[in-house]
Amino acid sequence: MVRIKVCGLKRDVDISYVNELKVDYAGFVFAKSRRQVSLEEAKKLVDKLDSGIKRVGVFVNERAYEIQKAVEVLSLDIVQLHGEEDLGEYLGLDVDIWKAVRVSCKEDVERARLYKCPGVLFDAFVEGMYGGTGKVFDFGLIEKEELNSKVILAGGLNCNNVSLAIERVKPYAVDVSSGVETEGVKDFDKMKEFVKRVREYGKNII
């Protein structure tokens, strides 16, 4: 079964949506973004999160000790790094690491082979932005790649393209944010349809 991560959760109602749909991962963004939450805000949200949903903290070039604080306060399961971090500084954290790779060419995918961490997240490259752009990249660049890490696919996924993305990439998980939003906030109907399509199409992939 292809796992599902919904990222950029900010409101109590967002938590109720993912709890009802029983997604696999809930993502909280701590980097500068319109979806950014503070540690205090995130604590209130994770306290309402279903215990069966894993907690992912998303950071960009944050210091390791600040991330460790978030890991402890929020009981994070995953730390997702979206900047130019030196992984060696973070692998000592008592949590799994997913390293994001922004893809614009084959060389970006090859770089992912150098990362020694449990997961690699592939996202679209947009100049000056670290993620959450809603842009799609060429899935063909990673279509036949075999990595030592779990592949998490992001970048402009939505109800209309996620089945094709799963077919081509066969990822461990898919990551969605803007693709299940309307006017910048999470939309339950879009989220429900996205989850339905992933589960229908992705149940025999992994």
Which candidate in 117, 123, 159, 175 is catalytic? 123
What tokens were used for 49?
């999160």
Nearest of 163, 55, 173 to residue 121 by alpha carbon? 173
Q: How far apart are the first and last CA of the chain?
A: 5
Cβ–Cβ under 8 Å, residues 120 and 96 = no
Nearest of 52, 68, 55 to residue 29 by alpha carbon? 55
Which neighbouring-strand residues pair with 197? none
Dmax (CA) for the chain in angstroms is: 42
Rounded CA-CA distance 20/177 in Å is: 17
Q: Is 7 a catalytic residue?
A: yes
Q: Is 96 a catalytic residue?
A: no
Which candidate in 7, 14, 24, 175 is catalytic? 7
Rounded CA-CA distance 86/89 in Å is: 6
Rounded CA-CA distance 189/144 in Å is: 33
* Residues annotated as catalytic (active site), given as ranges: 7, 123
